[in-house]
Amino acid sequence: MLKLLGNVQDIYHVLDLCCGIGRHSIQLARSGFNVTGVDITKPYLDIARENAEKANLDIHFIQSDMRDFCRPNSFDLIVNLCTSFGYLNDIEEDIKVLRNMYISLNTKGRFVIEILGKEVIAATFRKHQEYEFDGYKVIANCNILDDWSMLELKRTIIKDAEEQEITAYHRLYSATELKNYLRKIGFKHIQVFGDFAGLPYDSDAKAMILICEK
């Protein structure tokens, strides 16, 4: 990711939004940045703090809903990685998150978001999948809803004859759609990539990565 950003000498304070167990927060801290990690799930943050302590890294972890977290003019870089965006109930809530990130950036601060774009989903879509890992069997069924604006993902997780069913909904954005929202909020110099090596966002893209500036 840092290679895509080019010059990072002006980056000191970094926000890892939806940091989960802190994998990216730890890597950013190891790179010398002052890192704040935000996530709504306390068990994830407990693991993140433990992992940071083991690595002897001073990372500030905060439990907060991404819709509520806003620190005006506080960060030089904000990252939201691994498709952690688009799971809220209403598109206006997504836009509120993006607006809060804009407000939270310092002047000329940068925002990086990585999601599975609508184009990537369309190119790789499989309605039914089954796979196994670590003794678990997972049965996944996907449906496209609301004129390609929403992905419904139903997972059945089986282990030792016990089943758990989980349903998640993910709002889908094309590159053009997300760029337009970012531009309306005030972001500029918006770039789109197909991976963190800097490949173009085309039919071979594995993800949608947008980098923009306040």
Residue 75 pLDDT grade (very low, low, confident, very high; cuts 50, 70, 90) = very high
Q: Is the pLDDT of residue 145 over 80?
A: yes
| Residue 112: per-residue pLDDT | 98
- What are the CB-based long-range contacts (under 8 Å, 24+) for 45-51? 45/19, 47/21, 47/22, 48/19, 48/20, 48/21, 48/22, 49/22, 51/21, 51/22, 51/26
| Residue 133: per-residue pLDDT | 79
| Residue 132: per-residue pLDDT | 87
CA 202, 203, 206, 207 dihedral sign is: positive
Q: Among 92, 117, 130, which residue's Cα sits nearest to residue 205?
A: 117
Angstrom distance (rounded) from CA 182 to CA 196: 20
- Measure CA of the first residue to CA of the last residue in the chain; give whole Å: 18
**Average pLDDT of the residues in 154-162:** 89
| Residue 1: per-residue pLDDT | 84
| Residue 134: per-residue pLDDT | 75
- Nearby residues of 98 by Cβ (< 8 Å), 6 or more positions away: 181, 182, 185
Residue 68 pLDDT grade (very low, low, confident, very high; cuts 50, 70, 90) = very high
**Average pLDDT of the residues in 55-76:** 98
- Nearby residues of 145 by Cβ (< 8 Å), 6 or more positions away: 151, 152, 169
Q: Is the pLDDT of residue 162 over 90?
A: no
- Nearby residues of 191 by Cβ (< 8 Å), 6 or more positions away: 210, 211, 212
Q: Is the pLDDT of residue 136 over 90?
A: no
What value does the mean pLDDT of the chain take?
A: 95
Least trusted range by pLDDT, from 30-39, 131-140, 141-150: 131-140
Q: Among 46, 55, 3, which residue's Cα sits nearest to residue 26?
A: 55
Least trusted range by pLDDT, from 8-12, 36-40, 77-81, 113-117: 8-12
Write down the domain spans for the chain. 2-117+173-213, 120-170
**Average pLDDT of the residues in 64-79:** 98
Q: Which fold has domain 120-170?
A: N-terminal domain of TfIIb (2.20.25)
**Average pLDDT of the residues in 54-77:** 98
Judge contact between 114 and 82, C-beta under 8 A: yes
Single pTM value for the model: 0.92
Q: Among 116, 106, 55, which residue's Cα sits nearest to residue 82?
A: 116
- Quote the tokens at residue 47: 């693991």
Q: Just give the CATH number of 2-117+173-213.
A: 3.40.50.150
Question: What is the per-residue pLDDT across 180-197, written as a single tens digit (0 to 9) for each?
Answer: 999 999 999 999 999 999
Q: Is the pLDDT of residue 85 over 80?
A: yes
Q: Is the pLDDT of residue 70 over 80?
A: yes
